[in-house]
Structure 1
Amino acid sequence: MKHWLVKSEPGCWSWEDHVKAGIEPWDGVRNFQAAKFMKEMGQGDLAFFYHSQKEKAIVGILEVVRTAYPDPTDESARFVCVDFKACHPLKRPVTLKEIKDDPRLQELALIKQSRLSVMPIPAQAWELISAMGGV
């Protein structure tokens, strides 16, 4: 199983929105590197749900329930989406500041490629961030 992080602006699609929906496609991604990562996702993989913009924190965990398929919102037919199920919130959000302040997490794409909206999370970083969030 692989681990991921996906970002969304809470004003557009929040953790609470996803919880209400249950299972929902993660669509609208128009970055080729992010789309490549989405194509690598497998059923059962887990992803941190990150609120970008003002909050800048990991707030929940999603599970991939349908692997990459053509994104119906993409008229060019070049991009994909995956379906995520909301699993559970973190007991406490893990902020970007906390992640940046931890020397063990300095290699994360969240820090090095801050504009990337979908990224892999190494197993050790997943365990550390999960513990920070009370999971």
Structure 2
Amino acid sequence: MSHDTAKTAVTPPTHTAPPAKFSHGVRKGNILQVAGQVGFLPAVEGRAPTPAGPDLRSQVLQTLANVSSVLEAGGASWEDAVMVRVYLTDTGHFAEFNELYDEYFAALAGPPAARTTVYVGLPAGLLVEIDALAVLG
């Protein structure tokens, strides 16, 4: 097994340290895994994480922006994403989420990433979590 490709943590300036021992993103070689992101507004020193919203649109757009900032900090973009996982708290949000998702990715040049959507419980006030896997180069 080769050890010449270091694993590096990726943390954009908009993000606070994770609440447990994990990284917002991890890059190893040309692979970048973005941890599940939620709709927190960009970090402000001395202030607890604050979710966008409370509406689905605000949270989805902020969550996608947060995933995007990790991708960019790791040297990638949505064009490099091969897999996106979406975690919704309410099955009733699926149609609206798809509209927002399609609108967000309307300008994507290449094929869209594969996607899985599952339904989960999230901390109070959070409606969506999204992660992504990107392959660069």
Name the TM-score, length of structure 1 as normaliser: 0.28
> Structure 2 length normalisation: TM-score?
0.28
Question: Is the strand fraction higher in 1 or 2?
Answer: 1
Larger Rg: 2
